[in-house]
Amino acid sequence: MARRKVRTTAEFSLSFLDVICCGFGAIILLLMITKTVQPQLIEASASNLQGVIAALQEQLFELRGETRVLNRDLNAKQEQLSQFEERIAILRGQLASVRSRHDSIQVQTNTDDVIGEQLAIARQQLSEEQKRLLGTQYKPQNNLIGGIPVDSEYIIFVIDTSGSMFSYAWERMLRELQATLNIYPRVKGIQVMNDMGTYMFSRYRGQWIPDTPGRRKVIIDNLRNWAVFSNSSPVEGIETAIRTFHKPGQKVSIYVFGDDFSGDSISQVIDTVDRLNRSNDRGERLMRIHAVAFPVYFIMEPAKQHPNIIRFAALMRELTHRNGGTFVGLNDIRP
């Protein structure tokens, strides 16, 4: 019987070797690819960083240049500011000097002023010699000039400073105020306020402005540009004048210059003034109230005309009648 040959199996076959070789080949290929790509990426990154750095440096140079320009402009502005501050200091010193001289002129009095004051009072009253010559039964017919009583020693102007007055009738108002001053050659005191009771000269708040030719000129000059808030109602100014300046024994006249009345009630105003401006034992009011009406709204086209001008005339006619004054209604606002 023949013996069979036992064939031994090889530990490694060709297929296994193929797998091993392919694996080593893949590893070698990966290593080659990695070594080839990595320098390119680093080179590109370095190139990009250099570009960013160059751009940032360029921006830095531009900012430095702009900073130099701004610093130069700032220094120039600071120099100009110093020059302006120096000029302001000089102007303030000049203003203080002018105010000091102005106040010294206003406070100053002399013998001529006293004589003029006494002469003005003498013109408005009968002298003892006249009374003796004319007899004790003689009574003057009136103390009027142009229909306006001029027996007052003090005068107060209450002026409507509303936009309609300031824009259309201001020059005529200045002319009428100057004419009013002219019929009083000399008084003991003057005061100027607007219809809200705001004083034109705050340093004379609550006191009389001494009357001199120089002060009269200053009043007119300041009035030319005196535009303060107004509610187009003379009530506040009249009440302020009566409450502040009434003093027993003083003869005071209030002159109201305006073009309209925006208040709610005419009768309420009349009652208030009656209560403040009481009559003395002889039936005379504490203060005379005069009024001048400027027809501003009458010269406008019908669409802009307002009934407040009629109400102003009605109010002031009654107030002047009750308080011993005169109402004057102008027919034109041209100076």
* Residue-wise pLDDT tens digits, 230-263: 988 899 999 999 999 988 888 999 999 999 898 8
Q: Assess if residue 53 is contained within a domain.
A: yes
Q: Assess if residue 218 is contained within a domain.
A: yes
Q: Assess if residue 196 is contained within a domain.
A: yes
pLDDT of residue 144: 47
Phi, psi angle pair for 219, to nearest 5°? -60, -50
**Least trusted range by pLDDT, from 68-82, 182-196, 206-220, 228-242:** 68-82
Q: Assess if residue 83 is contained within a domain.
A: yes
In this structure, the answer to whether residues 173 and 280 fall within a common structural domain is yes
In this structure, the answer to whether residues 153 and 231 fall within a common structural domain is yes
In this structure, the answer to whether residues 269 and 160 fall within a common structural domain is yes
* Number of domains observed in the structure of the chain: 2
In this structure, the answer to whether residues 261 and 172 fall within a common structural domain is yes
Amino acid at 57: Q
> Which among 260, 300, 264 has a CA at the least distance from the CA of 165?
260
Q: Assess if residue 6 is contained within a domain.
A: no
- State the Cα–Cα distance between residues 75 and 220, nearest whole angstrom: 46
The two structure tokens encoding residue 200: 């034109």
Whether 139 shows a pLDDT value over 70: the answer reads: no
Provide the H-helix boundaries in 108-191.
111-124, 128-134, 163-164, 170-182
pLDDT of residue 247: 86
Q: Assess if residue 240 is contained within a domain.
A: yes
Q: What CATH number should be reported for the domain holding residue 320? A: 3.40.50.410
Buried-state track 117-131, b at ≥16 Cβ within 10 A, e below 16? beebbeebeeeeeee
- State the Cα–Cα distance between residues 320 and 113, nearest whole angstrom: 31
> Which among 331, 318, 313, 309 has a CA at the least distance from the CA of 274?
318
- State the Cα–Cα distance between residues 328 and 147, nearest whole angstrom: 9
In this structure, the answer to whether residues 186 and 325 fall within a common structural domain is yes
User: What range defines the domain where residue 73 resides?
Assistant: 17-106
In this structure, the answer to whether residues 134 and 49 fall within a common structural domain is no
- Dihedral over Cα of 178, 179, 185, 186: its sign: negative
In this structure, the answer to whether residues 257 and 325 fall within a common structural domain is yes
For the stretch 122-133, pLDDT in tens is 444 444 544 554
Domain ends where: 106, 136, 168? 106
The two structure tokens encoding residue 157: 């102007």
pTM: 0.58
In this structure, the answer to whether residues 121 and 101 fall within a common structural domain is no
In this structure, the answer to whether residues 166 and 49 fall within a common structural domain is no
Domain ends where: 106, 127, 155? 106
Whether 159 shows a pLDDT value over 70: the answer reads: yes
Domain ends where: 76, 106, 136? 106
In this structure, the answer to whether residues 242 and 277 fall within a common structural domain is yes
In this structure, the answer to whether residues 71 and 128 fall within a common structural domain is no
Phi, psi angle pair for 107, to nearest 5°? -75, -25
In this structure, the answer to whether residues 79 and 139 fall within a common structural domain is no
